[in-house]
Amino acid sequence: MSLYNEFAQVYAKGDYPTLSQAVAEILPAILKQYGIPSSGKLLDVACGEGSFALSMSKSGWQVTGIDQSDEMLRLARHRAQQAKLDISFLKHDMRFLDFSDEFDLVTCWFDSLNYMLTTDDLQSTFNNIARSLKPGGWFLFDMNTTYGLAVQRQEEKCYVQQETPDLLELHRTSYDFENQRGCVKITWFVREGEIWQKFEEKHTERAFSINKIEACLDYAGFKVVDRFGSLKNMTPLQSDSNRVWFLTRNEGSTH
């Protein structure tokens, strides 16, 4: 079973989409500060239910969103249709993108890249994103840090993520230090009349060192222009930052 299919409706009902909207709100100021174009062709990788893509389309970008979840894409297309926005939502695996010199900006938010469980998969993704960009195009993304997955996420091993009269969502976390992988087992219960149905998905993320991420970026032809521990406050990355935000520019691979 693919991730984020049965879970898509639960995701859309929770506060997850507000994170995308928050990034879309602060991004224009960051683009201006770093001389990144404020409009053009944008590829949103792992677009989910489309919140970020819709926000960027409303601000003037020509947006393409890709995701592997059929249900997430269905929700995204429905939302775009309701908003009367012309956005192309396509099913793609980020490791095997086949665009070429097409986009001015590529984004990949909310630790989607941590789902790449091997260095080869991460490198393949970076390589294909570089090929998708026009020369000098920008790639903005975030990833969970080792601290975020191994320490911060383990502070509460089991917790309620959301609860309504008809829905209960529980998260249970663990971390495999040998393989540098964090796991969240998501269990949710949906009430239909007097009956509660149980669903589960297991989400595994790989922790990569900052040096490894930057080595993969360099190999793909990206220059790291800046990185932050907080995008909103644009504060430097610290040893206890649970997330790292990268601003990179495509300068062409020499490999």
* Alpha-carbon radius of gyration of the chain: 18
For 148-206, CATH gives: 2.20.25.110
pLDDT band at 255 (very low <50, low <70, confident <90, very high): low
What integer is the mean pLDDT of 173-197? 94
The whole-number average pLDDT for the span 89-106 is: 96
Amino acid 169: pLDDT: 92
Residue 61: strand pairing partners = none
Which residue intervals of 103-225 are DSSP H helices? Answer: 119-132, 146-150, 210-220
What lies within 8 Å, CB to CB, of 176 at 6+ separation is 182, 183
Residue 234, Cα to own-chain centre: how many angstroms? 18
Minimum mean pLDDT range among 4-8, 38-42, 155-159, 205-209: 4-8
Which pair of structure tokens corresponds to residue 26? 């602060």
For the ranges 8-17, 64-73, 213-222, the lowest mean pLDDT is seen at 8-17
- As given in the structure block, the two tokens for residue 144 are 């969970």
State yes or no: pLDDT of 2 exceeds 70. no
Structure tokens at 248: 């990179």
Residue % of the chain over a pLDDT of 90 = 87
Say what the pLDDT of residue 10 is.
Answer: 81
Look at residue 178 and give its three-state secondary structure. coil
**Main-chain phi, psi angles of 90, to 5 degrees:** -125, 150
CATH 3.40.50.150 residue spans of the chain: 8-144+209-250
CATH homologous superfamily of 8-144+209-250 equals Vaccinia Virus protein VP39 (3.40.50.150)
Whole-number Å distance between alpha carbons of 78 and 171? 28
pLDDT band at 1 (very low <50, low <70, confident <90, very high): very low
Residue 89 to residue 210: CA distance in whole angstroms: 31
Name the segment(s) of the chain with CATH classification 2.20.25.110.
148-206
Residue 62 belongs to what H/E stretch?
Answer: strand 62-67
Mean pLDDT taken over the chain: 94
